[in-house]
């Protein structure tokens, strides 16, 4: 390829691994399942800070639960984030009087491309 390549998708049904450039890793958001809300699930978007894996510094964004199933959620980042990976944890932090606290955690189902 003449440049660094990254695994951007895996298709288990066809045994294919898709390679791409760093720009192909970027996501505008994510969809997640099995959400565990530590606050009452909001009726709309909730602003906060989203971490997409243990050592990720986090990214500003917003999260909302599915209208019919609050254990499913959608997140959107203020700026694109690299390497949003299915199977990883996504954790939403919100600001409060005592600083940031966890509002929700869920398992990433898929990334949403810009």
Domain boundaries, the chain: 26-112
- pLDDT at residue 8, rounded to an integer: 86
What's the pTM? 0.87
d(CA 114, CA 111) in angstroms, rounded, equals 10
pLDDT at site 108: 97
Between the two ends of the chain, the Cα-to-Cα distance in Å is 23
Cα distances (angstroms) measured from residue 29 to each of 13, 98, 111? 25, 27, 6
pLDDT in tens, the chain (114 residues): 688 999 988 888 999 999 999 899 999 999 999 999 999 999 999 999 999 988 889 999 999 999 999 999 999 999 999 999 999 999 999 988 888 899 999 999 999 998
Options 3.40.120.10, 1.20.1250.20, 2.40.30.10, 3.40.30.10; CATH for 26-112 is: 2.40.30.10
Nearest to 103 by CA among 64, 53, 57: 64
Give the per-residue pLDDT at 63: 97
Closest CA to 77 of 27, 43, 36, 40: 27
Strand, helix or coil at 59?
strand
Paired with 96 in beta bridges are 99
């Amino acid at each position: 390829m003449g440049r660094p390549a990254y695994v951007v998708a895996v298709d288990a049904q066809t045994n294919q691994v898709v390679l791409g450039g760093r720009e192909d890793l970027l996501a505008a958001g994510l969809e997640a399942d099995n959400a565990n809300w530590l606050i009452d699930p909001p009726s709309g978007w909730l602003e906060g800070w989203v971490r997409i894996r243990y050592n990720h510094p986090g990214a500003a964004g917003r999260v909302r639960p599915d209208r019919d199933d609050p254990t499913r959620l959608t997140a959107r980042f203020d700026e694109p984030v690299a390497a949003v990976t299915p199977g990883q944890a996504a954790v939403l932090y919100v600001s409060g009087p005592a600083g940031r606290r966890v509002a929700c955690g869920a398992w990433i189902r898929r990334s949403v491309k810009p």
